[in-house]
Structure formats: C-alpha cells, structure tokens
C-alpha cells in the first residue's frame, strides 16, 4: 500500500478485527502505516503480530460498556482518525418462526450500538476537525436476502444513518463512508446463527433449505477479503464522503444498476429465481 493513507490518518479503530473483513481492513491499515486498535469480544482472539496493533476486548452487545471501551482506547490513541464499525453477526431463519429475542439482539448489536459508537466517534472527530467514520453496511440493505430479514434491516438502517451524517459533516474536515460489501470468502456463513424454527411447516423448511444452499454458495465463491480492503483503502485516500459498493460485478455494479433503472418487480423476480422461491 502507498504511504498516502498514513500521511492523512495516524490512528484507527476497527471493530470485529479478529476474522473476515475486519481482519482484512486491519491488515490493510497496518500495511499503510496506520496504528490500529482492533476489537473482539475476547481480546485473546486478536493474534495480529504487528508493533502498530493494539488488541481491545469489546462486547458490542453491551452498549454502555462498548462505549467506555471505545473512549478508553480513543484516549490512549490520542484520538482516532479512522473508525471502522464492522462487528456484527448473522441470523438465519423465518421472521415469524424465530423467537423475537434473536431479532431484538441483532437490532441492538448491529444498529443501536453501532450508532452509539458512531456517535462517540463523531464527537471526537468533529472537535478535532479531522477523521473518517466508516460504517460497514451491506449490499443486503439494497437487496434483502430471504430469511435474514433483520440483518437486512440493520444494514439498511446503517446506510440511512450514513446518508444523513454525510450532510451533517460536510465542510467540517470529517468524512463518512457508507461501505457496502457483497459476499466475500470470509466463512461468515459458518458463524451465522440458525435458531429453532417453532411451527415452521414443510413448505417453509424446504424454502429455507434452498435459500441456505444459495446463500452459502455465494459466500464460498466470493472474492477474497483483501479486495474489499483495497476498495476501502482507495475510498479513504480519496478523502470524501460517499457510498462504496464492493464485491463481485453483479452485486457491486450490475445489481444496483438494475435496481436503479429497472423495477422492483424485476429485482424480486431475479432474487426469487436465484434462491429457488
């Protein structure tokens, strides 16, 4: 990576840094000369051997505790120039047949508490008149996946938050990046929760099986996480707010084009055909 990133940004905070995209983002930032504070629920999982890396234990399910951990790290770093809110989890199941506590937890962790960290991060950045807030949304916020209704909801909500914040930070020296990855080879599907489906009938179970098969196929054949990290690097170097879609051509380019210039009915038919619905 070039040194232009470290000329603009000294320090970064990355949630969910132990695996997948979070690990790729962390490695990219370190390679660019940025000092990184990376988080996981268990700091022992953060096995990144680099002098510029600082492991942080952070439980995003506990909003006040997560904010305290962030602020302590922010003080130790002398203020974060980049904050990447990446942590979260997937849950797969029919909305009506999954206990609502699963969906409530996902909303709290991935939308409410991510917004809480964004709030804390922006206060410091605006005071310093410098910084980049990166909230990792998803193509799923535009193309909702069956049986992941609340995951889609949280990602659409993050994109809406990002869009609003772009207006609010204009001219302040702070930028907001709405980063929307598609499917990458991260073993995300291996960590997705699949709660009990109380009352689901044969029709629903058959549909869920077909959708799960299609979902895992997309994840296992997606691009390497390093490609997403390279796209984030380029966006940070541009130094302006905006939306970044990344992933395979259909998800990052063709799909959004069809969604913009085609009809919702066409978009739904394409997805239904792919997932066997």
3-class secondary structure per residue, 107-155: HHHHHHHHHHHHHHHHHHHHHHCCEEEEEECCHHHCCCCCCCHHHHHHH
In Å, what is the CA distance from 126 to each residue of 66, 80, 87, 106, 243? 20, 11, 23, 29, 20
Residue in this structure with the two tokens 């770093």, named with its chain if needed: 77
Rounded distance between C-alpha atoms, residue 57 and residue 70, angstroms = 10
Q: Give the integer Cα–Cα distance in Å for 145 and 271.
A: 8
Look up residue 262 and give its DSSP letter. S
Angle, in degrees to the nearest 10, between helices 113-128 and 149-168: 20
Given 9, 151, 167, 274, the catalytic residue: 151
* CB-CB contact of 125 with 167 (8 Å): no
Q: What is the DSSP string of 158-181?
A: HHHHHHHHHHHTTTTTEEEEEEEE
Contacts of 257 (CB under 8 A, 6+ apart): none
147 catalytically annotated: no
Query: What tokens appear for 43 in the block?
Result: 């700091």
- Which are the catalytic amino acids? 151
């Amino acid at each position: 990576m070039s040194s232009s990133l470290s000329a603009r940004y000294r320090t970064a905070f990355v949630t969910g840094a132990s695996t997948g995209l979070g690990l790729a983002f962390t490695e990219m930032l370190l390679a660019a000369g940025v000092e990184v504070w990376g988080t996981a629920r268990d700091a022992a999982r953060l096995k990144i051997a680099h002098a510029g890396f600082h492991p942080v234990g952070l439980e995003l399910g506990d909003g006040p505790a997560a904010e305290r951990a962030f602020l302590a790290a922010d003080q130790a770093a002398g203020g974060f120039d980049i904050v990447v809110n990446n942590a979260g989890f997937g849950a797969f199941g029919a909305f009506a047949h999954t206990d609502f506590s699963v969906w409530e937890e996902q909303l709290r962790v991935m939308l409410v508490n991510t917004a809480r960290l964004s709030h804390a991060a922006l206060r410091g950045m605006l005071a310093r008149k410098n910084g980049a807030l990166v909230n990792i949304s998803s193509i799923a916020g535009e193309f909702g996946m069956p049986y992941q209704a609340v995951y889609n909801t949280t990602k659409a909500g993050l994109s809406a938050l990002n869009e609003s914040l772009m207006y609010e930070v204009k001219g302040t020296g702070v930028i907001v990046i709405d980063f929307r990855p598609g499917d990458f080879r991260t073993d995300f599907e291996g960590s997705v929760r699949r709660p009990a489906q109380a009352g689901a009938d044969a029709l629903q179970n058959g549909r869920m099986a077909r959708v799960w098969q299609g979902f895992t196929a997309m994840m296992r054949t997606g691009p390497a996480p390093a490609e997403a990290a390279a796209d984030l690097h380029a966006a940070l170097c541009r130094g302006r707010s905006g939306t970044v879609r990344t992933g395979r051509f259909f998800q990052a380019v063709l799909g959004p084009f069809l969604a913009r210039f085609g009809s919702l009915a066409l978009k739904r038919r394409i997805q239904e055909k792919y997932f066997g619905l």
